[in-house]
């Protein structure tokens, strides 16, 4: 190994070909397991709530619905930076192994819930939060462990496989949730237990710790201010999409406004504390590294553009397209996951390939091109009618997956290659925080834009349709005046929205033919099509604009290319 290479990476040492592939396979398993659970619950939620005998759309129960969906993401976003820093201090492999154990333990507790009603829902929410802690251990340290194991000229490929597995896991979970949930809702949690046990034993026996600097101390003020700020912001966003008083959303709620203000103030305090700390949790000076700062901001923007896409597509498919094409509402969750498979295929194809190519040609062209392709795909989706031809829809999903895959792997490799070795854990955690925070922010923005569009056109269309089918005017006015978010959540959960909105008493009072028509597969999709599109257009336009901005920030990372390498004897050596 050259002297210059050793000086640039003090932890650099000859890397065994066999060992680095063991690291890649184990960390990919860990990240895949963690990210599958971010979405497996989405599709299986109706089965979960039916199993514990609770109506998630009843007044007061939307708390459980939102926190089952977003709580996992919030905990992971908040903790990955701190746990990445602990990995830098105490050992990345130790923290990673602990993540497997914590994740597996709480997956088991989720599957053995013996309560029912709100007690069971509370138990699931709390255990899900602790499951997110285990996921944060895994996600925070996996990229740093990979970067330590692989030489610089192969990191793009390795990180690409790892990150794309993580992104694809969120879509694979949709199909698994649709398959396992109807059989037994506990299976969606039990499935992680044997995988977690196997991964824990494998990681403990095979992964090797790299010596760490032990003369560091925990930056408690930085950790607490960062955690408080991020939690407050994400809680504010979560409750901002819920109805408040007589408003369709909660952005005027004092609690929401106070949470957002507290979050901003805490993050400002965090920045000040970190500048003055002798041993900060995160060195803000790392943002002076152009490849790191541009790559991290691009990660945030890309996640903000992509994060709400899955929710929007699921609602589009379950609420409109699948019922119009003969699928019953109860079966739409599974088929929505299957319909989104081209998106997953695009990620899986482009991620590893572009990661490998970026090792040879640099990352900037792939990240810029990926974001431009993503923007084009969002604009093209915007041009589709609500009752689209699936071939066109699937092709655009594939384009979006290919584009996001082309961006994600080279971008992560560029970020990790730019970091000094002693800061890889916390730098990886910060990048993951940007990604997860962008997803939560995106969900809030997408839902807000869609609800604004629905609130303008859905009430009069729904009232007119109900009155035409014999529903009394007063009842039709009341149902049409309900917050649009109730309709979105009903569609998202695979319920027949009209059965939920009208209730059994009103339906029983209607003539048989009228009730059958209202509960049929065409009434609700026909009513909501125009209103849904009016909310969908600004959401997709926003995503396209954000991706275009991400293309610009990706260009600003510079034209860095990894140094040429030579290898021999099973080792990869960096040559200046």
Q: What is the pLDDT of residue 571?
A: 32
Q: What are the pLDDT digits (tens) for 427-453?
A: 777 777 788 788 888 888 888 888 887
Separation CA 386–CA 313 (nearest Å): 11
- Mean pLDDT, to the nearest integer, of 231-249? 80
Most confident range, picked from 184-193, 228-237, 239-248, 499-508: 184-193
Pairing label, strands 571-574, 565-568: antiparallel
Contact 255, 239 (CB under 8 A): yes
Give the list of residues 6+ apart from residue 217 with CB closer than 8 angstroms, or none: 279
| pLDDT mean over 367-382 | 93
- For residue 17, the SS3 value is helix
Per-residue pLDDT at 218: 67
H/E element, 571: strand 571-574
pLDDT of residue 59: 67
pLDDT in tens, 515-536: 888 888 888 888 888 788 888 8
**Is the pTM above the cut of 0.75?**
yes
Q: 10 Å Cβ neighbour count for 343?
A: 29
In this predicted structure, which of 155-159, 190-194, 522-526, 536-540 has the lowest mean pLDDT? 155-159
Whether residue 9 contacts residue 421, with contact meaning beta carbons closer than 8 Å, is answered with yes
User: Which of residues 452 and 542 earns the better pLDDT score?
Assistant: 542
Q: What is the pLDDT of residue 225?
A: 85
Whole-angstrom distance, CA of residue 399 vs CA of residue 73: 26
Question: Rounded distance, CA 145 to CA 512, Å?
Answer: 64
* The pLDDT of residue 5 is above 60: no
Element (H, E) at 429: helix 424-468
* Mean pLDDT, rounded, for 502-506: 82
Q: Which of 205, 145, 165 is nearest to 29 (CA)?
A: 165
Q: Which DSSP symbol is given to 279?
A: S
What is residue 552's predicted lDDT score, i.e. its pLDDT?
A: 93
Look at the block and give the residue holding tokens 């408003």. 247
Neighbours of 217 (CB within 10 A): 9
pLDDT at residue 3 is higher than 50: no
Name the helix (H) or strand (E) containing 470.
Answer: none
CA 291 to chain centre: 24
% of residues, the chain, pLDDT over 90: 13
Nearest to 404 by CA among 315, 467, 310: 310
Expressed in percent and rounded to 5, the helix, strand and coil fractions of the chain are 80, 0, 20
Tell me which of 134 and 487 has the higher pLDDT.
134
Across the chain, what does the average pLDDT equal?
81
Per residue in 130-158, pLDDT tens? 998 998 888 888 877 887 888 877 777 77
Measured CA distances, 523 to 13, 194, 478, 499, 547 (Å) = 66, 44, 18, 12, 36
Residue with tokens 């600097």: 213
**From 240-249, 298-307, 522-531, the region with the lowest mean pLDDT:** 240-249
Q: Which helix (H) or strand (E) holds 30?
A: helix 17-51
Would you state the structure tokens that stand for residue 60, as one six-digit string?
A: 């007061």
Contact 300, 434 (CB under 8 A): yes
CB-side neighbour CA atoms (13 Å) of 438: 23
Least confident of 10-19, 214-223, 475-484, 543-552: 10-19
Fold annotation for 12-208+281-453+531-561? Growth Hormone; Chain: A; (1.20.1250)
Selection from 202-206, 224-228, 374-378 with the highest mean pLDDT: 374-378
pLDDT score of 103: 92
pLDDT digit string (tens) for 85-130? 777 778 888 888 998 899 999 999 998 888 888 888 899 999 999 9
Question: Would you state the pLDDT for residue 502?
Answer: 82
- CA separation for the pair 315, 489 (Å, rounded): 8
DSSP 317: I
Contacts for 149 with CB less than 8 Å, ≥ 6 apart: 15, 19, 20, 23, 24, 158
Closest CA to 217 of 90, 79, 80: 90
Residue 231 has pLDDT above 80, yes or no: yes
- Take residue 497 and report the two structure tokens written for it: 């929205």
Q: What is the pLDDT of residue 109?
A: 93
* Backbone phi and psi for residue 568, each to the nearest 5 degrees, phi listed first: -175, 150
- Is the distance from CB of 71 to CB of 128 less than 8 angstroms? yes
Q: Is pLDDT at 572 greater than 60 in this prediction?
A: no
Q: What is the predicted pLDDT for the residue at 13?
A: 47
For 126, other C-beta atoms within 10 Å of its C-beta total: 15
User: In this predicted model, what pLDDT tens digit does every residue of 8-38 receive, in sequence order?
Assistant: 444 444 455 788 888 888 888 887 887 787 7
């Amino acid at each position: 190994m050259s002297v210059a290479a050793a000086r640039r990476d003090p932890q650099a040492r000859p890397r065994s070909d066999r060992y680095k592939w063991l690291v890649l396979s184990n960390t990919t398993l860990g990240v895949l397991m963690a990210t599958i659970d971010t979405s497996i619950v989405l599709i299986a939620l109706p089965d979960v709530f039916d199993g514990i005998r609770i109506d998630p759309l009843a007044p007061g129960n939307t708390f459980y619905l939102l926190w089952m969906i977003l709580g996992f993401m919030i905990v992971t976003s908040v903790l990955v930076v701190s746990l990445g820093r602990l990995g830098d201090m105490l050992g990345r492999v130790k923290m990673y192994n602990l993540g497997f154990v914590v994740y597996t333990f709480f997956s088991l507790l989720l599957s053995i819930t013996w309560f029912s009603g709100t007690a069971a829902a509370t138990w699931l929410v709390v255990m899900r939060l602790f499951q997110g802690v285990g996921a944060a251990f895994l996600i925070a340290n996996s990229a740093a462990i990979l970067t330590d194991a692989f030489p610089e000229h192969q990191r793009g490929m390795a990180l690409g496989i790892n990150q794309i597995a993580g992104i694809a896991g969120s879509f694979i979970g949709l199909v698994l949730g649709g398959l396992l949930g109807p059989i037994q809702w506990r299976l969606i949690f039990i499935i992680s237990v044997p995988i977690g046990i196997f991964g824990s034993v494998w990681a403990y026996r095979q992964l090797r710790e790299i010596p760490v600097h032990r003369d560091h101390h925990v930056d408690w003020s930085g950790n607490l201010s960062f955690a408080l700020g991020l939690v407050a912001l994400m809680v504010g966003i979560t409750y901002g999409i819920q109805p408040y008083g007589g408003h369709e959303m909660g952005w005027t709620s004092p609690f929401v406004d106070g949470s957002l203000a507290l979050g901003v103030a805490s993050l400002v305090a965090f920045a000040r504390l970190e500048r003055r700390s002798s041993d900060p949790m995160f060195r803000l000076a790392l943002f002076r590294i152009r490849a790191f700062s541009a790559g991290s901001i691009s990660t945030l923007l890309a996640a903000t553009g992509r994060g709400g896409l899955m929710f929007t597509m699921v609602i589009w498919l379950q609420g409109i397209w699948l019922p119009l094409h003969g699928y019953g509402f109860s079966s739409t969750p599974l088929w929505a996951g299957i319909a989104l498979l081209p998106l997953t295929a695009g990620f899986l194809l482009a991620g590893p390939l572009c990661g490998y190519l970026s090792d040879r040609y640099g990352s900037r062209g792939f990240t810029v091109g990926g974001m431009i392709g993503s923007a084009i795909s969002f604009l093209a989706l915007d041009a589709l009618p609500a009752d689209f031809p699936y071939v066109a829809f699937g092709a655009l999903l594939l384009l979006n997956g290919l584009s996001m895959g082309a961006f994600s792997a080279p971008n992560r490799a560029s970020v990790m290659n730019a970091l000094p070795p002693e800061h890889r854990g916390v730098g990886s955690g910060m990048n993951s925080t940007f990604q997860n925070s962008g997803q939560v922010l995106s969900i809030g923005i997408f839902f807000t834009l869609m609800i604004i569009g629905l609130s303008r056109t859905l009430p009069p269309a729904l009232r007119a349709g109900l009155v035409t089918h014999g529903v009394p005017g007063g009842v039709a006015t009341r149902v049409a005046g309900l917050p649009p978010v109730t309709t979105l959540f009903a569609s998202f959960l695979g319920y027949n929205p009209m059965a939920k909105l009208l209730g059994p008493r009103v339906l029983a009072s209607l003539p048989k033919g009228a009730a059958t028509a209202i509960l049929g597969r065409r009434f609700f999709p026909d009513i909501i099509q125009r209103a849904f599109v009016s909310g969908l257009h600004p959401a997709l336009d926003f995503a396209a604009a954000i991706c275009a901005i991400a293309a610009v920030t990706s260009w600003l990372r510079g034209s860095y290319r990894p140094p040429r390498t030579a290898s021999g004897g099973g080792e990869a050596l960096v040559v200046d």
